[in-house]
Amino acid sequence: MKNPIVPINNGFELQPYLLGDQRYAMHPWLMVPFSFTGMSTPAQHFYNCKHVQGRLSIERAFGLLKARFRILENGINFFVGWAGKLVHATCILHNVIVKNRLDHDDVASALEPVLRRERAAKNLRMRRQGSPDRPDSGHEVRDALVAYIMSRNT
């Protein structure tokens, strides 16, 4: 999107925003529905209906992506700055698969070498840093850091 700012209502510039449910606080970048107790006009009710439709569409789309790309199944465990790029990449891949009528198994087998390399790199990182699943891994990292600091200062 080259210019995500959309002028609306007498020049008000609408910035990109996220849709959240009532559990979230309202922010300029996060739109939430009106509460049922605070909803007094037909316009507010209509907004809530459109808000729900939008959120359901997004949830269905993410459901499709999560079913197709296992990397998204348990949340995005990457640097937060990469999350948008990862979702964008999976959307592009999904569209390529649909447009070219590719079989899921063909795509999975084509991606297998990449996944193997990623698993190997992850295993190497875990061996170097300690497994995040093991409670003592933090101690291993700290001990290695202490040894490094001591070697530089003796």
User: For the residues of the chain, what is the DSSP string, one character each?
Assistant: -----EEETTTEEEPP-EE--TTSPPBTTEE-PPPTTT--SHHHHHHHHHHHHHHHHHHHHHHHHHHH-GGGTT---S-HHHHHHHHHHHHHHHHHHHHTT--HHHHHHHHHHHHHHHHHHHHHHHHHH--TTSTTHHHHHHHHHHHHHHHHT-
- Is 52 inside a domain boundary? yes
- Is 35 inside a domain boundary? yes
pTM of the model: 0.56
Q: For the segment 46-100, what is each residue's pLDDT rounded down to a tens digit?
A: 888 898 999 999 999 989 998 888 878 777 666 667 778 888 888 998 898 888 8
Q: What is the pLDDT of residue 146?
A: 47
Q: What is the pLDDT of residue 61?
A: 92
Q: For the segment 15-51, what is each residue's pLDDT rounded down to a tens digit?
A: 788 888 889 888 888 888 888 776 678 888 888 889 8
Domain tally, the chain: 1
- Is 26 inside a domain boundary? yes
- Is 34 inside a domain boundary? yes
